[in-house]
């Protein structure tokens, strides 16, 4: 697997060592990231991912030492170092070098890593309900794509993997459906699509927002609302949106087998059409 990282003005190959044992991010968690995708010669919404990285930086009290526009330019430069049809993961990272409990903004550093990551086949995955929940905004920095949020998601995924499932559905503190451990969740019932309304407990994903807009433009009714966990076993379809796999169906939820349905297929088709017809093509 080819990996390149831009750090301190130059490109390096391989898993570049960057954080030391006394780096604030290493032991106290002052680090945020984002993830974009390049595949089939396109990099959809790359600019929005760069902008979100900067917003996450502000939310955690870090200083965005590289602006979003420059991250975008570096990403294009890095993508060009791979074959034109390569499937890539693009990950900007900001972290604090100094500070005890509170990271020192002026110590913020930046790195951009791009590596080969095949796009998952849309064959689907299984999921089950986890006992671990997403935190409320007053419990964790849920307004940032912060690495400190991911151990909780990892615990949820580990719990359901032990039961033989690929992923976990996580609830919010009030007992409503929030998301999968690694992506946003949608259900389809009677020809309409429903997804949890953003309430500050989970990331309002860029791919999520894009798919909602595309479905509505196609005159599909999409409802952002509170979703009860009891609705999942009764849904006609369940599918996910996220940067890594974009649009992916659920083929088993708890004890119920599911088939990739028409709303999933439409959402994926619309997203792929958008990606290949957009302005952020590789060059």
pLDDT at 282: 35
Decide if pLDDT at 281 tops 90: no
Decide if pLDDT at 23 tops 80: yes
Average pLDDT over residues 188-193: 96
Concatenating the DSSP letter of every residue in 37-96 gives: EEBTTB-TTHHHHHHHHHHHHHHTT---SS-HHHHHHHHHHHHTTS-TT--EEEEEEEEE
CA distances from 175 to 4, 136, 241 (A): 42, 12, 21
pLDDT at 96: 98
At a CB cut-off of 8 Å and minimum separation 6, what does 210 contact?
A: 44, 45, 241, 271, 274
In the chain, what are the domains? 3-116 (3.30.470.10), 125-277 (3.20.10.10)
Cross-strand pairs, 109: 95
pLDDT at 148: 96
pLDDT at 253: 98
Which ranges of the chain does DSSP label H, i.e. alpha helix? 24-28, 46-59, 68-79, 150-161, 206-217, 262-277
Average pLDDT over residues 59-70: 98
Decide if pLDDT at 276 tops 50: yes
Closest CA to 280 of 50, 3, 116, 4: 50
Per-residue pLDDT tens digits for 211-245:
999 999 999 999 999 999 999 999 999 999 999 99
Decide if pLDDT at 54 tops 50: yes
Per-residue pLDDT tens digits for 72-120:
999 999 999 999 999 999 999 999 999 999 999 999 999 999 999 999 9
pLDDT at 55: 98
Decide if pLDDT at 283 tops 70: no
Average pLDDT over residues 247-253: 98
Place of tokens 């870090």: 62
Give the three-class secondary structure for 126: strand
pLDDT at 105: 98
First to last CA, the chain: 22
> H or E element: which one contains 108?
strand 108-116
Alpha-carbon distance of 192 to 226, in angstroms, equals 15
Give the three-class secondary structure for 180: strand
Average pLDDT over residues 156-177: 98
């Amino acid at each position: 697997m080819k990996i390149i990282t831009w750090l301190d003005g130059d490109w390096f190959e391989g898993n570049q060592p960057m954080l030391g044992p006394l780096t604030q991010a290493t032991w106290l968690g002052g680090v945020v990231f984002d993830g974009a995708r390049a595949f089939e010669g396109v990099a959809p919404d790359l600019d929005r991912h760069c902008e979100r990285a900067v917003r996450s930086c502000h939310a955690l009290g870090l200083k965005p030492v590289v602006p979003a526009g420059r991250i975008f330019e570096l990403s294009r430069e890095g993508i060009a170092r791979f074959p034109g049809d390569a499937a890539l993961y693009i990950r900007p990272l900001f972290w604090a070098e100094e500070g005890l409990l509170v990271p020192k903004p002026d110590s913020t550093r930046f790195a951009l890593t791009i590596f080969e990551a095949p796009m998952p086949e849309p064959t689907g995955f299984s999921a089950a309900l986890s006992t671990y929940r997403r935190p409320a905004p007053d419990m964790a920095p849920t307004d940032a794509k912060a690495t400190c949020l991911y151990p909780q998601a990892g615990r949820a995924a580990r719990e359901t993997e032990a039961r033989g499932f690929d992923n976990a559905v996580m609830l919010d503190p009030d007992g409503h459906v929030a998301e999968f451990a690694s992506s946003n969740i949608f259900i389809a019932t009677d020809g309409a699509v429903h997804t949890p309304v953003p309430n500050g407990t989970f990331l309002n994903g860029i791919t999520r927002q894009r798919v909602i807009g595309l479905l509505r433009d196609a005159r599909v009714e999409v409802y952002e609302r509170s979703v009860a966990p009891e609705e999942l076993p009764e849904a006609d379809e369940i599918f996910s949106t996220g940067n890594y796999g974009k649009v992916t169906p659920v083929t088993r939820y708890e004890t119920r087998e599911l088939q990739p349905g028409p709303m999933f297929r439409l959402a994926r088709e619309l997203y792929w059409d958008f990606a290949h017809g957009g302005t952020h093509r590789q060059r």
